[in-house]
Structure 1
């Protein structure tokens, strides 16, 4: 088997949803908003506008419930990136952490964790990163709508 096929089989073995439902659309909108602001506004402007937006969103309790998971994923991504851990090992670790969630929830929660890390590097604003984020957002929207 090719490396991609082996990796796909490993990822599929980590998928064991437990039936819990996560409304990922509000998270996706929040992630989109954070990423848009990160590439176009100053930090203080973005924080002020984001704070106002969060206060208007009615899914705060769900965010509270999932914030620990998002934080764990964020730490895992950051640690593995800094330690030079193999991307495959990181991927499998994340999928194992998220084994009980649906595919779209896995994707949005991981994207939220990435956004948390990305927010720390707002001033970089590199074109390649912005293009990558655009592709990730397009793919995530497609998966959420497909699900």
Structure 2
């Protein structure tokens, strides 16, 4: 990985983390407030996501749709499938349940690790463990269908 790519990655990560901290979305109580649509619903997370989309959508259109390759080289890594299969739906459901139970999304969890919150450290350790064992579960699912 080139120095330029690492620097752009660093700046992007810092911007993301600062934005999450500034918006307060590293606080699980705010995320749970957004998910609590039948109680004390807090719409602030929707505005954070909407603001992100307002910046992302024109940038995506301008850069990805009009360029042959990324600014820093290589190739765009865009999804090619539009199929909603069992694997995608199960993964999305598990992600949503985990997000709802913890009240935190992985991005803000990584951002909040700087506060050395033990709950976030445990969450991230479990997240990494889940990512490590997911291929095993996928292999088991394939064996059951064959």
TM-score when scaled to structure 2? 0.34
Whichever structure has more helix as a proportion of its residues is 1
